[in-house]
Amino acid sequence: MNIGSRIAKLREDRGWTQEQTSALLGISRAALSHYEKNRREPDTDTLSKFADLFHVSVDYLVGRTNAPHVTLDEPIRDFVDHLELADEELLEKYDLTIDGRKLSADEARRFIAFVRAERMMKS
């Protein structure tokens, strides 16, 4: 199922018209129609609006999963959005990986030092 089909089905399952749905999203009815007919793809901001409105994940909308309600809870989303890699407790508690291989604590610290040095050079 493609993005447009999923959007249309979610809207129809709720018994909403295109006019109602587009008003809730703050987009035109014509834009919604184009999305539903796969003439256009929504940008990331609009995809997020659809996901929030229908209480589904963006991954579901774009077809990466068939589980519509797998979303991050607000506390988890806040944690992920404000992740501070230099936090020693974080480095000890979580496995950071590159190419599927876990970074050692020393590798993680060197990675952080590299990013800091690169930022200083750009300033």
Which one, of 98, 94, 117, 116, lies nearest residue 107 by Cα? 98
Structure tokens at 28: 């035109």
Please report the beta strands in 29-114, taking only residues with DSSP state E, as ranges in sequence order: 97-98, 101-102
Look up the CATH superfamily of 3-61: lambda repressor-like DNA-binding domains (1.10.260.40)
- The pLDDT, as a whole number, for residue 71 is 58
Q: What is the pLDDT of residues 41-60, one digit of tens each?
A: 999 999 999 999 999 988 88
Whether the predicted pLDDT of 75 surpasses 80 = no
pLDDT bracket for residue 80 (50, 70, 90): low
Query: For 86-100, what is each residue's pLDDT tens digit?
Result: 778 777 777 888 888
Q: Where are the domains of the chain?
A: 3-61, 74-122
Stated pTM of the model: 0.57
